[in-house]
Chain A
């Protein structure tokens, strides 16, 4: 890999042993994937996946301490994934004890490390950092050192930024040296599609189900999706962006997709169209039957498959302001139809702290509160990953949450019926 004199000097230890190790990590990471050079990071902010002060990831705190002690601080400020605990989310005494005294007992300590290393502001915790209210929204063509799979796939696909599916820790190392290796999704060739997805459903496909199907089929490849614009339009607006946010998270968690193109919709597809498709690309046709097959393939791992759900999580990745508003309206209508005043299953909508602030300034906040739904900034995935919560029958329409936890997946429509006590 070509390195500039400045980069070689850092690698050779002229700015200290710790910075040399950081550079070595970045360079070896690039060499492994055939990078030809390092390129400067151009985004204003970074985004880190590691937000949780889990007691058991002590080696990460040790590594962060090494960076701090050596003054190897991030050259750009950053946002982080959501916090793992929120006292507003229902939890019994034992769960609270486990969360606060055992699992996440290092949360305050770790947030202190993040502040020292360059956190944007004290509440910059959301997986959907690109939402306007959060303020970490890169420009088209920006080079990023982000991690968080759902944010990376959104930045690449919807915003047209350029970022590889970086792992946690490598993300901040890019920021510390100011460069990332030039390979994969940073290159024009790496952004070409090797799969054509033909959407031939008879109704708008469920975002999280379609993303799951595509992720499981193409794994880490780049899909070019045709026919979806018929259902979600050819304009990037609040509604289509929310759809793509949820769709992308499912492609990234059920497979390893870092970039997708949607014909007539996403920026590079609009500019380049079929020229983005590699010669010999494979074809995957998705119709109603295929989506049903995918849905039916999800294992139900509850001890009692017919158990009454004790909790419902919506918002993995975090919901947008428009999603909170539209769900408020949907809930009110469904509750009225069901003859209920409040949700019949404890339900938590998760979103960014800054979105909560904005939502609380709208008329919808009181209306949603009246339905009994709790709005939280928590990461539901982190809430779920312990033996106590793992045994709880939790439902969700997030395919990411389904993938990483025991939560059971239902479509948005099914969730609405269940939490409002309606009938199908």
Chain B
């Protein structure tokens, strides 16, 4: 087990299976198909992301550097949260980007009862260490444990 410290963007605790993207997560490309066609498991549709393409994202501990791509990203993430198709948590190795940040805040402010802990600035070592399938535990204080 190894622990990493990050900044709490949205607080909460959770334990979930890791899904790791070493490249930036293109939120629109990843979630659009799932949101449009009722895929409750939110299977990633981004053909340019070999780490995630075809993997189920809902309920996973999504580990990533940042999000990239269309500026619909924030509202797509907001919709994923509103529709219950969000990851269990989002863990950023870098400081969160403006699109993901907006989506997380919109969900926090405007949606009741949606919890998706978000931690950023976990460092490059976090993404080097964590592997898809690892068990991740997120603590209230921004500590992320990888087993």
Contact = CB atoms under 8 A, between A and B. Distances in A.
A33 interface: yes
Contacts of A169: 74-75, 78, 102, 106
A256 B36 contact: no
A254 to B, nearest CB: 8
Interface residues of B, number: 40
B14 interface: no
A305 interface: no
A28 B108 contact: yes
Interface string A20-50: 0100110011001100000000000000011
Contact of A59 (B67, B71, B83): B83
B102 A29 contact: yes
Given A56-B35, A167-B71, A219-B24, A33 B109 contact: no
Contacts of A385: 32-33, 36
A91 interface: no
Given A167-B75, A253-B70, A29 B97 contact: no
Contacts of A406: 47
Given A25-B110, A60-B78, A220-B97, A167 B36 contact: no
B14 to A, nearest CB: 20
A32 B101 CA distance: 7
A60 B79 contact: yes
Contact of A21 (B101, B102, B110): B110
Interface stretch (A112-120, A144-152, A224-232): A144-152
Interface string B64-77: 00111111111100
A181 to B, nearest CB: 10
Nearest to B120: A32
Given A32-B105, A164-B98, A167-B74, 17 more contacts: A24-B109, A29-B101, A58-B79, A59-B82, A59-B111, A60-B78, A63-B110, A166-B98, A166-B102, A167-B72, A168-B74, A219-B24, A253-B70, A385-B33, A403-B29, A403-B69, A404-B29
Interface of A: 21, 24-25, 28-29, 32-33, 49-50, 54, 56-60, 62-63, 66, 103, 147-149, 152, 164-171, 184, 219-220, 253, 255-256, 299, 301, 385-387, 403-404, 406
